[in-house]
Amino acid sequence: MREQLEKIKLEALEEIKEATNSQRIDEIRVKYLGKKGSLTTILRGMGSLSPEERPIIGKFANEVREFIEEEIKKALLNIKNKERELKIKGEYIDITMPGKKVEIGGIHPLNKVLDEIKDIFFGMGFSIAEGPEVELDYYNFEALNVPKNHPARDEQDTFYISENLVLRTQTSPIQVRTMEKTKPPIRIIAPGRVYRSDAVDATHSPIFYQIEGLVVDKGITMANLKGTLETFAKRFFGEKTRTKFRPHHFPFTEPSAEMDVSCFVCGGEGCRVCKGSGWIEILGCGMVHPDVLRKGGIDPDEYSGFAFGMGLDRIVMIKYGIDDIRLLYENDIRFLKQF
Protein backbone atom coordinates (compact mmCIF):
# COMPACT_ATOMS: atom_id res chain seq x y z
CA MET A 1 0.00 0.00 0.00
CA ARG A 2 2.90 2.34 0.68
CA GLU A 3 4.16 1.71 -2.86
CA GLN A 4 0.71 2.57 -4.23
CA LEU A 5 0.66 5.82 -2.26
CA GLU A 6 4.13 6.69 -3.54
CA LYS A 7 3.01 6.00 -7.09
CA ILE A 8 -0.07 8.23 -6.66
CA LYS A 9 2.14 11.01 -5.30
CA LEU A 10 4.51 10.91 -8.29
CA GLU A 11 1.72 10.59 -10.87
CA ALA A 12 -0.21 13.53 -9.33
CA LEU A 13 2.95 15.66 -9.25
CA GLU A 14 3.67 14.90 -12.91
CA GLU A 15 0.14 15.78 -14.01
CA ILE A 16 0.14 18.99 -11.94
CA LYS A 17 3.38 20.13 -13.59
CA GLU A 18 1.91 19.52 -17.05
CA ALA A 19 -1.35 21.38 -16.32
CA THR A 20 -1.71 24.71 -18.20
CA ASN A 21 -5.01 26.08 -16.87
CA SER A 22 -7.11 26.11 -13.72
CA GLN A 23 -9.72 23.79 -15.22
CA ARG A 24 -7.13 21.04 -15.67
CA ILE A 25 -5.92 21.54 -12.08
CA ASP A 26 -9.46 21.07 -10.82
CA GLU A 27 -9.74 17.83 -12.80
CA ILE A 28 -6.53 16.55 -11.16
CA ARG A 29 -7.83 17.46 -7.70
CA VAL A 30 -11.01 15.46 -8.29
CA LYS A 31 -9.05 12.56 -9.78
CA TYR A 32 -6.80 12.09 -6.76
CA LEU A 33 -8.51 13.77 -3.79
CA GLY A 34 -12.21 13.52 -4.67
CA LYS A 35 -14.71 11.16 -3.08
CA LYS A 36 -14.00 8.60 -5.79
CA GLY A 37 -10.36 9.66 -6.23
CA SER A 38 -7.32 7.35 -6.22
CA LEU A 39 -6.12 8.37 -2.75
CA THR A 40 -9.57 8.04 -1.19
CA THR A 41 -9.98 4.54 -2.70
CA ILE A 42 -6.70 3.34 -1.16
CA LEU A 43 -7.52 4.80 2.25
CA ARG A 44 -10.76 2.81 2.30
CA GLY A 45 -8.68 -0.37 2.11
CA MET A 46 -6.76 0.41 5.30
CA GLY A 47 -9.11 -1.86 7.26
CA SER A 48 -7.25 -4.88 5.91
CA LEU A 49 -3.95 -3.69 7.44
CA SER A 50 -2.62 -4.99 10.75
CA PRO A 51 -2.91 -2.77 13.82
CA GLU A 52 0.85 -2.10 13.64
CA GLU A 53 0.83 -0.98 9.95
CA ARG A 54 -2.34 1.07 10.12
CA PRO A 55 -0.94 4.19 11.93
CA ILE A 56 2.18 4.20 9.76
CA ILE A 57 0.31 3.98 6.46
CA GLY A 58 -2.31 6.42 7.73
CA LYS A 59 0.35 8.99 8.54
CA PHE A 60 2.01 8.53 5.15
CA ALA A 61 -1.35 8.82 3.37
CA ASN A 62 -2.01 12.14 5.11
CA GLU A 63 1.42 13.36 4.06
CA VAL A 64 0.66 12.43 0.42
CA ARG A 65 -2.72 14.23 0.61
CA GLU A 66 -1.08 17.37 2.08
CA PHE A 67 1.65 17.23 -0.55
CA ILE A 68 -0.82 16.99 -3.43
CA GLU A 69 -2.99 19.79 -1.96
CA GLU A 70 0.08 22.02 -1.57
CA GLU A 71 1.25 21.36 -5.13
CA ILE A 72 -2.24 22.09 -6.46
CA LYS A 73 -2.27 25.37 -4.52
CA LYS A 74 1.13 26.37 -5.92
CA ALA A 75 0.11 25.41 -9.45
CA LEU A 76 -3.12 27.42 -9.27
CA LEU A 77 -1.26 30.49 -8.05
CA ASN A 78 1.30 30.13 -10.83
CA ILE A 79 -1.40 29.71 -13.49
CA LYS A 80 -3.32 32.77 -12.23
CA ASN A 81 -0.14 34.86 -12.36
CA LYS A 82 0.51 33.75 -15.93
CA GLU A 83 -3.09 34.48 -16.93
CA ARG A 84 -2.80 37.96 -15.41
CA GLU A 85 0.43 38.62 -17.31
CA LEU A 86 -1.20 37.56 -20.58
CA LYS A 87 -4.18 39.81 -19.88
CA ILE A 88 -1.92 42.77 -19.13
CA LYS A 89 0.02 42.18 -22.34
CA GLY A 90 -3.23 42.02 -24.28
CA GLU A 91 -4.37 45.33 -22.77
CA TYR A 92 -1.07 47.07 -23.33
CA ILE A 93 -1.34 50.60 -24.66
CA ASP A 94 1.52 52.09 -26.60
CA ILE A 95 1.43 55.72 -25.48
CA THR A 96 3.80 56.66 -28.30
CA MET A 97 1.21 55.77 -30.95
CA PRO A 98 -0.84 58.64 -32.44
CA GLY A 99 -4.29 58.98 -30.88
CA LYS A 100 -7.57 58.57 -32.71
CA LYS A 101 -8.99 61.82 -34.04
CA VAL A 102 -12.06 62.94 -32.11
CA GLU A 103 -14.64 64.57 -34.34
CA ILE A 104 -15.88 67.77 -32.71
CA GLY A 105 -19.22 69.15 -33.83
CA GLY A 106 -19.96 72.78 -34.53
CA ILE A 107 -22.83 75.14 -33.81
CA HIS A 108 -25.70 74.76 -36.27
CA PRO A 109 -26.13 77.86 -38.48
CA LEU A 110 -29.65 78.39 -37.08
CA ASN A 111 -28.31 78.47 -33.51
CA LYS A 112 -25.29 80.50 -34.55
CA VAL A 113 -27.41 83.29 -36.05
CA LEU A 114 -29.97 83.06 -33.23
CA ASP A 115 -27.21 83.60 -30.65
CA GLU A 116 -25.95 86.60 -32.61
CA ILE A 117 -29.44 88.14 -32.74
CA LYS A 118 -30.00 87.46 -29.04
CA ASP A 119 -26.76 89.25 -28.15
CA ILE A 120 -27.83 92.32 -30.13
CA PHE A 121 -31.19 92.58 -28.39
CA PHE A 122 -29.70 91.77 -24.98
CA GLY A 123 -27.49 94.81 -25.52
CA MET A 124 -30.64 96.93 -25.98
CA GLY A 125 -32.17 95.71 -22.71
CA PHE A 126 -34.43 92.95 -24.05
CA SER A 127 -34.98 89.62 -22.27
CA ILE A 128 -36.16 86.26 -23.63
CA ALA A 129 -39.73 85.01 -23.17
CA GLU A 130 -40.90 81.47 -23.91
CA GLY A 131 -44.23 79.74 -24.40
CA PRO A 132 -45.82 76.43 -25.40
CA GLU A 133 -45.55 75.09 -28.96
CA VAL A 134 -48.94 73.38 -28.58
CA GLU A 135 -51.07 76.48 -28.16
CA LEU A 136 -54.66 77.39 -27.39
CA ASP A 137 -56.62 78.72 -30.35
CA TYR A 138 -57.38 81.82 -28.27
CA TYR A 139 -53.72 82.86 -27.87
CA ASN A 140 -52.73 81.89 -31.40
CA PHE A 141 -55.58 83.75 -33.09
CA GLU A 142 -58.30 85.53 -31.11
CA ALA A 143 -56.02 87.39 -28.69
CA LEU A 144 -54.04 88.59 -31.73
CA ASN A 145 -57.09 90.14 -33.37
CA VAL A 146 -57.59 87.24 -35.80
CA PRO A 147 -61.35 86.49 -35.83
CA LYS A 148 -62.98 83.11 -36.43
CA ASN A 149 -63.49 83.67 -40.16
CA HIS A 150 -59.94 84.85 -40.87
CA PRO A 151 -58.12 82.97 -43.71
CA ALA A 152 -55.16 82.23 -41.40
CA ARG A 153 -57.40 79.81 -39.51
CA ASP A 154 -57.82 77.65 -42.59
CA GLU A 155 -56.77 74.05 -42.01
CA GLN A 156 -54.57 74.34 -45.09
CA ASP A 157 -52.35 76.76 -43.14
CA THR A 158 -52.65 75.51 -39.55
CA PHE A 159 -52.09 72.17 -37.82
CA TYR A 160 -55.15 71.61 -35.63
CA ILE A 161 -54.90 69.11 -32.79
CA SER A 162 -58.48 69.75 -31.72
CA GLU A 163 -61.02 72.54 -32.17
CA ASN A 164 -59.27 74.61 -29.49
CA LEU A 165 -55.66 73.38 -29.77
CA VAL A 166 -53.17 74.11 -32.54
CA LEU A 167 -49.45 73.90 -33.20
CA ARG A 168 -48.53 77.57 -32.93
CA THR A 169 -48.16 79.29 -36.30
CA GLN A 170 -46.01 82.09 -34.85
CA THR A 171 -44.41 83.00 -31.54
CA SER A 172 -46.84 85.95 -31.17
CA PRO A 173 -48.92 84.09 -28.50
CA ILE A 174 -45.93 84.52 -26.18
CA GLN A 175 -46.44 88.29 -26.41
CA VAL A 176 -50.03 88.05 -25.16
CA ARG A 177 -49.07 85.62 -22.39
CA THR A 178 -46.28 87.99 -21.33
CA MET A 179 -48.64 90.98 -21.21
CA GLU A 180 -51.06 89.00 -19.05
CA LYS A 181 -48.34 88.12 -16.53
CA THR A 182 -46.10 91.21 -16.62
CA LYS A 183 -46.82 94.84 -15.94
CA PRO A 184 -45.23 97.38 -18.31
CA PRO A 185 -42.53 98.29 -19.09
CA ILE A 186 -42.12 95.17 -21.22
CA ARG A 187 -39.17 94.54 -23.53
CA ILE A 188 -38.90 90.96 -24.76
CA ILE A 189 -37.93 88.82 -27.73
CA ALA A 190 -39.62 85.44 -28.28
CA PRO A 191 -37.59 83.03 -30.41
CA GLY A 192 -38.92 79.55 -31.10
CA ARG A 193 -40.12 76.82 -33.41
CA VAL A 194 -43.40 77.31 -35.28
CA TYR A 195 -45.54 75.20 -37.60
CA ARG A 196 -47.43 75.81 -40.84
CA SER A 197 -49.16 73.32 -43.12
CA ASP A 198 -46.83 74.03 -46.05
CA ALA A 199 -45.53 71.61 -48.67
CA VAL A 200 -41.77 71.17 -48.44
CA ASP A 201 -39.79 72.94 -51.15
CA ALA A 202 -36.75 75.20 -51.46
CA THR A 203 -38.40 78.08 -49.58
CA HIS A 204 -41.10 76.41 -47.46
CA SER A 205 -41.07 73.97 -44.55
CA PRO A 206 -43.83 72.81 -42.17
CA ILE A 207 -41.39 73.49 -39.32
CA PHE A 208 -39.32 76.64 -39.09
CA TYR A 209 -38.14 79.26 -36.56
CA GLN A 210 -39.30 82.77 -35.76
CA ILE A 211 -38.03 85.58 -33.57
CA GLU A 212 -40.64 88.08 -32.44
CA GLY A 213 -40.23 91.13 -30.24
CA LEU A 214 -42.49 93.25 -28.07
CA VAL A 215 -42.02 96.59 -26.33
CA VAL A 216 -44.79 98.12 -24.19
CA ASP A 217 -44.47 101.28 -22.11
CA LYS A 218 -45.83 104.77 -21.79
CA GLY A 219 -45.16 107.02 -24.78
CA ILE A 220 -43.87 104.33 -27.19
CA THR A 221 -44.11 105.56 -30.80
CA MET A 222 -43.22 104.49 -34.33
CA ALA A 223 -39.96 106.38 -33.88
CA ASN A 224 -38.95 103.95 -31.11
CA LEU A 225 -39.80 101.04 -33.41
CA LYS A 226 -37.72 102.43 -36.27
CA GLY A 227 -34.78 103.30 -34.02
CA THR A 228 -34.70 99.83 -32.43
CA LEU A 229 -34.89 97.96 -35.74
CA GLU A 230 -32.37 100.22 -37.48
CA THR A 231 -29.94 99.59 -34.62
CA PHE A 232 -30.49 95.85 -35.00
CA ALA A 233 -29.96 95.99 -38.79
CA LYS A 234 -26.70 97.96 -38.52
CA ARG A 235 -25.26 95.66 -35.84
CA PHE A 236 -26.27 92.48 -37.67
CA PHE A 237 -25.65 93.38 -41.32
CA GLY A 238 -23.05 96.13 -40.92
CA GLU A 239 -22.88 99.82 -40.01
CA LYS A 240 -23.44 100.95 -43.62
CA THR A 241 -26.80 99.16 -43.78
CA ARG A 242 -29.78 101.35 -44.69
CA THR A 243 -33.39 100.50 -43.85
CA LYS A 244 -36.71 101.10 -45.59
CA PHE A 245 -40.18 100.71 -44.10
CA ARG A 246 -43.08 99.90 -46.44
CA PRO A 247 -46.76 100.13 -45.35
CA HIS A 248 -48.37 96.73 -44.85
CA HIS A 249 -51.27 95.10 -43.03
CA PHE A 250 -51.15 92.79 -40.02
CA PRO A 251 -54.29 92.19 -37.91
CA PHE A 252 -52.39 92.55 -34.62
CA THR A 253 -50.59 95.87 -35.36
CA GLU A 254 -51.77 99.27 -36.59
CA PRO A 255 -50.05 100.96 -38.34
CA SER A 256 -48.03 98.06 -39.78
CA ALA A 257 -44.98 97.88 -42.00
CA GLU A 258 -42.43 95.58 -43.56
CA MET A 259 -38.79 96.48 -43.16
CA ASP A 260 -36.21 96.07 -45.91
CA VAL A 261 -32.45 96.45 -45.54
CA SER A 262 -30.03 97.54 -48.21
CA CYS A 263 -28.36 94.50 -49.76
CA PHE A 264 -25.26 93.71 -47.71
CA VAL A 265 -23.68 91.97 -50.72
CA CYS A 266 -23.89 94.73 -53.35
CA GLY A 267 -24.48 97.69 -51.04
CA GLY A 268 -27.76 98.50 -52.79
CA GLU A 269 -26.42 98.46 -56.34
CA GLY A 270 -28.43 95.38 -57.34
CA CYS A 271 -27.27 91.76 -57.52
CA ARG A 272 -28.43 88.14 -57.55
CA VAL A 273 -29.06 88.10 -53.79
CA CYS A 274 -31.42 91.11 -53.81
CA LYS A 275 -32.77 90.20 -57.27
CA GLY A 276 -31.50 93.47 -58.67
CA SER A 277 -33.60 95.68 -56.37
CA GLY A 278 -30.84 96.66 -53.95
CA TRP A 279 -33.14 95.80 -51.01
CA ILE A 280 -33.90 92.66 -48.99
CA GLU A 281 -37.09 92.19 -46.97
CA ILE A 282 -36.28 90.82 -43.51
CA LEU A 283 -39.20 91.40 -41.13
CA GLY A 284 -42.70 92.67 -40.41
CA CYS A 285 -43.50 95.16 -37.66
CA GLY A 286 -45.94 97.73 -36.37
CA MET A 287 -47.55 99.42 -33.38
CA VAL A 288 -49.45 96.94 -31.21
CA HIS A 289 -53.19 97.13 -31.94
CA PRO A 290 -55.22 98.56 -29.02
CA ASP A 291 -57.45 95.45 -28.99
CA VAL A 292 -54.39 93.21 -28.56
CA LEU A 293 -53.23 95.36 -25.63
CA ARG A 294 -56.66 95.06 -24.04
CA LYS A 295 -56.66 91.27 -24.40
CA GLY A 296 -53.28 91.28 -22.67
CA GLY A 297 -54.77 93.22 -19.77
CA ILE A 298 -53.10 96.54 -20.64
CA ASP A 299 -54.94 99.84 -20.99
CA PRO A 300 -54.21 101.25 -24.50
CA ASP A 301 -55.14 104.75 -23.30
CA GLU A 302 -52.20 104.67 -20.90
CA TYR A 303 -49.69 102.42 -22.69
CA SER A 304 -48.59 101.83 -26.26
CA GLY A 305 -46.13 99.42 -27.81
CA PHE A 306 -44.56 98.00 -30.91
CA ALA A 307 -43.97 94.46 -32.12
CA PHE A 308 -41.89 92.85 -34.83
CA GLY A 309 -41.27 89.38 -36.19
CA MET A 310 -38.72 87.77 -38.47
CA GLY A 311 -38.13 84.30 -39.83
CA LEU A 312 -34.84 82.99 -38.45
CA ASP A 313 -34.47 80.55 -41.36
CA ARG A 314 -34.81 83.41 -43.86
CA ILE A 315 -32.21 85.53 -42.03
CA VAL A 316 -29.79 82.58 -42.03
CA MET A 317 -30.37 81.93 -45.74
CA ILE A 318 -29.79 85.61 -46.57
CA LYS A 319 -26.68 85.87 -44.38
CA TYR A 320 -24.97 82.77 -45.77
CA GLY A 321 -26.35 82.74 -49.31
CA ILE A 322 -28.28 79.47 -48.84
CA ASP A 323 -30.86 78.90 -51.57
CA ASP A 324 -32.71 75.88 -50.15
CA ILE A 325 -34.29 75.81 -46.66
CA ARG A 326 -34.17 72.00 -46.65
CA LEU A 327 -30.40 72.14 -46.19
CA LEU A 328 -30.96 73.56 -42.70
CA TYR A 329 -32.87 70.47 -41.59
CA GLU A 330 -31.25 67.54 -43.42
CA ASN A 331 -28.21 67.44 -41.08
CA ASP A 332 -25.81 66.77 -43.93
CA ILE A 333 -22.35 66.95 -42.38
CA ARG A 334 -20.85 68.17 -45.66
CA PHE A 335 -23.14 71.19 -45.51
CA LEU A 336 -22.86 71.87 -41.75
CA LYS A 337 -19.03 71.73 -41.78
CA GLN A 338 -19.03 74.97 -43.77
CA PHE A 339 -20.16 76.85 -40.69
**pLDDT grade, residue 296 (50/70/90)?**
very high
Check: CB of residue 136 under 8 Å from CB of residue 164.
yes
Q: Does the annotation place 52 within a ligand binding site?
A: no
- Partners of 262 in beta bridges: 279
Mean pLDDT of 139-165: 84
DSSP-derived pairing of the beta strands 207-217 and 304-311: antiparallel
* Omega cis (within 30) before 255: yes
- pTM to 2 decimal places: 0.68
**pLDDT grade, residue 210 (50/70/90)?**
very high
Give the pLDDT confidence score for residue 58 in this predicted structure.
74
**pLDDT grade, residue 155 (50/70/90)?**
low
